[in-house]
A and B are shown apart, each in its own frame.
Chain A
Amino acid sequence: MSGGGLDLRIQDLTVVYGGVTALDNVNITVPSGGFVSVLGANGAGKTTLVRSITSLLYLHKGRVRRGSIVLGGESILGKKSPDIVSAGVAQVPEGRKLFPNLTVKENLLCGAASRSDVSGIDESLEQTLELFSQLRPLLSQTAGLLSGGEQQMVAVGRALMSQPTLLICDELSLGLAPKIVHRLFELLTEINETRGTSILVIEQNASLALQHANDAYVLELGRVLMEGSATELKGNPMVQELYLGGGGEAHTSYAAIERPSRSRPLEHGQRPPVTES
């Protein structure tokens, strides 16, 4: 099985869409074999972060203005998306993004697009079906007709088909029943522990994300607002109020709340958001 061994280091990453800055001087590290969560509300730049790592910004007319993304000592910035998958980075995209007209099996096989070892692909398919046993009877079903939970399983399974060293999950919990989300997070932990696959989850559901991760970052308006171990952040009063507090699933808008003082100062200063002239 693919082991860990590659750490992801994002440094000083600034990403713009036209004149709009989506990420501003972001520094995030996913250590080899680690489980890292990035929390943030809508518009915090979470999906932009995923697109930057996986080189899909070009489809949205975005570009990296400065900074670096290094995987296992090698820069992956500017590489094409297929090369990044080959380098070991797989993703479960926001909204699942299955191929709706393809069968479950075909969806899973598309996850192995970067691989050339045909017998290894069959083996991975078998492993994936062991992990998600309820997909087995659905293999020849059209993916677009599955339930949301089943679709998300296919999406995770599809990403695993490339034997990634780093698995990125963008809003895994979106639109799914809490029970299914719990189950998926447990599976992620299992994958992390048994396969040594590094996991990066991008989440709005902070309680789950903090429960399963080792380290976490809070992203707000394109900048890293807080970072630390998951335990640390769980104990942080601001995180509690904004992401974990009484509100539960129904978070209060971040901007609507008066901020308590930060638990930890920003490491990279507090410049105003950069806009292109």
Chain B
Amino acid sequence: MLLAFGNFTADPSVNLQLLIGGLALGAIYAVVALGFVLVYKSTDVLNLAHGEFLMLGAYFALTFLISENLNFFLGVFVLLLVMLVFGLVVHYGIMRRMVGQGFFAIVLITLGIATIIRALLLIFYGPTERARLDLLPQGSFEVGGATVRHVDLVIFGVVALCVLLFFLFFKYTRLGLHMRAVADDIEAAAAMGIDPDKVYAMTWAAAMVMAGVGGLLFGHVTGAIDRSIEAIGLRAFPAAVVGGLTSLGGSIVGGLVVGVIEQFANGHLGTKWREPVAFSVMFVVLLVRPTGLWGRKDLERV
């Protein structure tokens, strides 16, 4: 063979380790994808600033949980509250004015928001990288020759809980129903007395809170907290697309699938193949099923 593709190995413990690492990475992708899906599903906006939202969450976690040294639960509460307020600021300060504008203009606005967040974090936190968070359990145990970190299990549990909460929220609460109605047809929703403005505000607040959770979790597994962690937004993008941008469950499956594929590419082909393989999977899924695996087209019988 002319091309040397790293070391293929059939060693089961190596493959198990890659699987576990992939699922852990996939859980992080799922959190990020969930943020994409929330906003896209409800407001039709592809929010390219979500990686920056998450970075904001990670830095705020540093401030409240490390620098201010608040009690863990109080610190998390304050973190999520601050994120919620930032979500409202994004809506009432910026996105509200963009309602009714073209899709492309709105996507560009989110890129602008991303730039502003990066700049503000640089101004207030400086360019120095910070040590990653260490508040979640740090131990690990062995299964079949592979190491499982406690922190990954915690991340798994939190992600599953978030998905369950969102599912119940959309299915069984009035606000959740109104959010789905606005997503289906904003004018009809307004005609029924639903205030789209309020629904959008809640959506951005919820997405920011999710980014707070994501930042807190990712802050535990990233190499260090610095300006580069916003890249998680772009890296999780294939996960959101593979799952279908409108499906909460899809974002989870998409996250796990892409995470595992990336880890196997990483282990068997080498690190440089990780992202090309992930994006190739995205392309293939888009070619075969343009709405993603679980995304749905609007049902309309004419």
Contact = CB atoms under 8 A, between A and B. Distances in A.
Interface of A: 54, 56, 59, 61, 80-82, 84-86, 91, 93, 97-102, 106, 109-111, 113-114, 142, 144-148, 158, 162
Contacts of A147: 301
Contact of B184 (A80, A84, A86, A100): A100
B193 A144 contact: no
Given A100-B300, A142-B299, A110 B190 contact: no
Interface residues of B, number: 24
Nearest to A175: B302
B184 A102 contact: yes
A59 B177 CA distance: 22
Given A56-B190, A56-B191, A86-B193, A102 B301 contact: no
A101 B301 contact: no
Contacts of A61: 100
A154 to B, nearest CB: 12
B227 to A, nearest CB: 39
B288 interface: no
A261 B63 CA distance: 80
B188 A101 contact: no
Given A56-B187, A93-B187, A113 B298 contact: no
B177 A109 contact: yes
Q: Lowest 3 CB-CB distances: which A-B pairs, in order? A: A85-B193, A144-B299, A114-B193
Contact of A101 (B180, B187, B189): B180
Contacts of A114: 192-193
A99 B193 contact: no
B179 to A, nearest CB: 11
Give the residue among A61, A144, A158 with the most B Cβ atoms within 10 A. A144
A101 B192 CA distance: 16
Nearest to B246: A101
A82 B301 contact: no
B58 to A, nearest CB: 34
Contact of B192 (A80, A100, A158): A158
Contacts of A54: 191
A146 B302 CA distance: 10
24 contacts: A56-B190, A59-B100, A59-B190, A81-B195, A85-B193, A86-B193, A97-B187, A98-B188, A99-B180, A99-B181, A99-B185, A100-B300, A101-B184, A102-B181, A102-B184, A106-B181, A110-B178, A110-B192, A110-B194, A113-B174, A113-B178, A114-B192, A114-B193, A145-B299
A74 B180 CA distance: 32
B191 A80 contact: no
A163 to B, nearest CB: 11
Contacts of A158: 192
Given A85-B192, A142-B299, A99 B187 contact: no
Given A101-B296, A144-B300, 11 more contacts: A56-B190, A59-B100, A59-B187, A82-B195, A85-B193, A93-B187, A100-B184, A101-B299, A113-B174, A113-B189, A113-B193
Given A59-B186, A93-B187, A144 B298 contact: yes
A148 B195 CA distance: 27
Nearest to B187: A59
